[in-house]
Amino acid sequence: MRAVRHVWCAIAASFLVSACAHGARSRPEGSEPAAIDEELYAAAVRGTLQHFRGDDQESTLYCVSIPGDTRPQFLARFTHDPFLIAGPDSCKWDGGAVVPASSSPEVVSNGQPTGARVTPTRAMFLRVERVKLLSPGRAQADTSIVYGNVGANGLTLTLERQDGQWTVLTAEDTWIS
């Protein structure tokens, strides 16, 4: 039995060495991850917030995540918007609801902390689930917003590049919990 295991290990090792020596990839060419168009993702976040915000006067912390890594440079795009945006680690679950991870998150302007703090009354996770390019100037984005165990909504946005900027054309509710 031990001899059989050694033979199989030798076969597997020679296959791996052969694949490395011939420049074989672990993924097919067509499945390489595409570069993220941060302007498109930012437009999807803004469109989602505009759709769900309504006349909400409560200060709400929106903890945003996009596929890959939600980098501080991406979050800095929202420093002049009228809503409070932070990364996904700024919210947490508590008793079935989403709450700010800190009672007073620091305000960031132009990507830099200002020293000022704000105390939001509630928090929500906002996630850009998937973005699909329909053409070079048109895309669809699936987003979700979650504020509790039984409080979540899904949205499909249709976006178009107009005058060099992504603009939301339509927003369609796709699911609710």
pLDDT tens digit sequence for 43-58: 999 999 999 875 566 7
Q: Which residue bears the tokens 């694949």?
A: 19
Spell out the residues 6+ positions from residue 128 whose beta carbon is closer than 8 angstroms to its own: 41, 44, 45, 48, 64, 65, 66, 67, 141, 142, 143
H or E segment to which residue 7 belongs: helix 2-21
Whether the model clears a pTM of 0.85, i.e. scores above it, the answer is no
What the block records as the tokens of 52 is 């769900």
Spell out the residues 6+ positions from residue 160 whose beta carbon is closer than 8 angstroms to its own: 137, 138, 139, 166, 167, 169
Q: Are 155 and 171 in contact (CB under 8 A)?
A: yes
pLDDT, tens digit (0-9, with 9 covering 90-100), for 16-26: 333 333 343 33
